[in-house]
Structure 1
Amino acid sequence: MTLFPPVVGRFEGGIGTFHGDDTYDGKDTRARFVWSGVSATSARWEQAFSVDGGDTWVTNWIMEFTRPSGTTAG
C-alpha cells in the first residue's frame, strides 16, 4: 500500500483526524489517522481503513507515545 496523495485533515477540539484515499489488492480504500491525547508528555495515534467509503472502519494499529520524565524538547 502506498498512500498518495498525502492525507489531509486538521486538529479540532484536541483531536487530529486525517484522511486519504488509496488502493489495496485492487480495491479502493480510505485511510484514517487520528491523533488524540496530545500533551507535552504523551500522545495516541490510531490507523484505520475503510473499504466502504468510510461507513465502517477497521483499526489495525494503535501507538501510545510517552516522553521519559526529565526530558524536554529542545
Structure 2
Amino acid sequence: ASVADYDIQNGAFKDVLAIMDALKIGLAHVAGHDFGAPVAWMLAAQRPERFKTLTALSVGHTRAYLKAGWEQ
C-alpha cells in the first residue's frame, strides 16, 4: 500500500463505488464535507447515473481546487 492508493481517483472514488456495489445500492445521494467534497464532486460528475443528488458542505469552489491543484 502506498499514498497513491488513497488519492481521489484510485482510492476514495473506487472505494465508494465498490461499497455501493457490495450493498447492491444502484442509486444514492452523495455528500462530501471539506476535503471529502472533491470526492463527492468527482463521483457525481463521472458517474451521474449512480447519484440522485450532490451536496458539498463547507468547501471552496471547484475552480479554486483546480487552480491550487489536487495535491493541496
TM-score bracket, shorter-length normalisation: under 0.3
Give the strand-richer structure, 1 or 2. Answer: 1
Give the helix-richer structure, 1 or 2. Answer: 2
TM-score (norm 1): 0.24
TM-score (norm 2): 0.24
Rg (Cα) greater in structure:
1
